[in-house]
Copies of this chain bind each other. A is one copy, B any other.
Amino acid sequence: MASLETIPVQTSSDLLDTTTIIALSVFFTLLCACIIIGHLLEENRWANESITALLLGLCAGAVVLLVSKGNSSRLLVFSEDLFFLYLLPPIIFNAGFQVKKKQFFKNFTIILLFGIFGTVISFCLISFGASLLFKKIGVTSLVIQDYLAIGAILSATDSVCTLQVLSQDETPLLYSIVFGEGVVNDATSIVLYNSVQSLDFNHIDATIALKLLGTFLYLFFTSTILGLAVGLLSAFIIKTLYFGRHSTDREIALMMIMAYLSYMLAELLSLSGILTVFFCGIVMSHYTWHNVTESSRITAKHAFATMSFIAETFIFLYVGMDALDISKWKESCAGAGTSVAVSSTLLALVLIGRAAFIYPLANLINCLSKREGAKIEFRKQFIMWWAGLMRGAVTIALSYNEFSSSSKATSTKDSALMITCTIIVVLFSTVVFGSVTKPLIEAVLLRHARPAISDATDIPSLDDLRLLFLENGDEDDQDGNGNLPVPRRSSFRLLITYPTFTVHYFWRKFDDKIMRPVFGGRGFVPFVPHSPTGAENET
């Protein structure tokens, strides 16, 4: 083996950049550690995987900082491309794929109200508050565009952390509202942020709010329609071409790629990729998922969840490591006092901004709602407020985008200060608010809960409703026994009494008669003989 000295032992590493390999090795080792530690802490109600990843990332950043003798804590530079192109889509797609559709659509109006109007209220309040308070702290070089950007940046709640903290089974109503709001909210913040970037502040007139609203509605509807279209296309292709006959791998690959394609197309058309891929996930779980073989179904469910899980852990690890961005800390030149003051101001604004729309809007909903059971009680309002306080990777990505470019009028010092303070807010809110949420929910909600129905279905179930329709003879209209006028009048009466459920009922009829025969879905796929379960042939 002495001969080895003269010929340096080299393989592909010669072809690859060594720093990339080191960075990837460290990252994947940390990911493994996160999964294992996260599992061991599963029973612990204070910790969760996000917090573990964040803290582990911080420790790793500190080690790198020590090893590089204070020069750098970053193995990989935080890249918006990596985040928006590769990490966010699988998370949002999986959320759409696994979401309980009935709950989600039942609360659709509440979700839209919170997600759109709530975010706008929070945006206005944070922008206004920051512009008022920052000057007193001594941050003077920011312009109006920066303040508006700060409002948009800090209005983006972190739907990833919400997913981990709330349980879809224990508190389905809260989960669907807070999480649904999170998805709409991400889209709203990004639209707001981009509108702020493109606004010409020399020509502000009264129509600006209307213009923003128009832009937002356009984006919301076109993005949703694109997502639905791609989802339906995937269902149609898989149903028509019978992929199940041949290969599970092709089916899964096609679902994955088409979902990703929907995100890319939305971005290409300057729509909101997040909304598109979310609705694409919903359609895929409703139609496409039922068109594939049994083993594809199991694989799809778990493979998508796994990819989302890895992406989430990766993001938090990344944010943790990025927090000790020494160059930004040096650049900002701010004393600990200023940093703490700015961060606490931002945190306070986040708290107030969220409170300012949750309580009024929830009470508005309570006033409009006729039935006692559908009202949102104060305890739930409190949890809704609290569970949406976490700020995450979207905030950091937007903050880098706003304050790291050098072509701004804002001084480098203040820009760096804003980035470091955003990081502090994200870290603090995720670690402190995040770890307190689970125990808080237990304390506030579950202990005082009225048994069983407190949170779930507090209105007649679909079966009850169908019975109601049946009693009114609605199901008989195909038999042609003459009593058609009665169900029609009664349907209208029902629509007034239970609007959501009547819509649902007619949707189900439409779905069964028109959509499923074309796009497949539960019970509408022809039997495939020899459907491989994949588990038998153990090699």
Contact = CB atoms under 8 A, between A and B. Distances in A.
Contacts of A268: 13, 21-22, 25
Contact of A257 (B15, B32, B100, B534): B32
Judged by DSSP, the binding face of A is: helix
Contacts of A218: 1, 4, 9
Interface residues of A, number: 103
Nearest to A198: B8
B302 A534 contact: yes
A528 interface: no
Contacts of A32: 254, 257-258, 261
Interface stretch (A34-42, A359-367, A416-424): A34-42
Interface stretch (A77-85, A118-126, A482-490): A77-85
A279 B247 CA distance: 26
B303 A16 contact: no
A272 B13 CA distance: 9
Interface string A198-221: 110000000100111011001100
B21 A267 contact: yes
Given A264-B25, A299-B303, A215 B7 contact: yes
A275 to B, nearest CB: 9
A86 to B, nearest CB: 10
Given A257-B28, A285-B539, A197 B14 contact: yes
A401 interface: yes
A20 B81 contact: yes
- Copies of this protein, total: 2
A71 interface: no
A383 interface: no
Interface string A416-457: 000000000000000000000000000000000000000000
Interface in A506-539: 522, 533-535, 538-539
A397 B15 contact: yes
A210 B3 contact: yes
Contacts of A42: 246
A247 to B, nearest CB: 8
A79 to B, nearest CB: 10
A190 B22 contact: no
A369 interface: no
Contact of A39 (B9, B246, B285): B246
The 7 lowest CB-CB distance pairs between A and B, nearest first, are: A299-B302, A3-B211, A303-B303, A10-B194, A25-B264, A252-B306, A28-B261
25 contacts: A7-B199, A9-B219, A10-B194, A10-B270, A11-B271, A12-B274, A15-B398, A16-B80, A16-B267, A17-B81, A21-B267, A28-B264, A36-B241, A39-B243, A39-B247, A40-B241, A248-B302, A248-B305, A249-B306, A249-B309, A253-B313, A295-B298, A298-B298, A302-B534, A522-B538
Given A1-B218, A11-B271, A256-B310, 11 more contacts: A7-B212, A7-B215, A10-B197, A11-B219, A12-B190, A21-B85, A21-B267, A28-B261, A298-B534, A299-B299, A299-B302
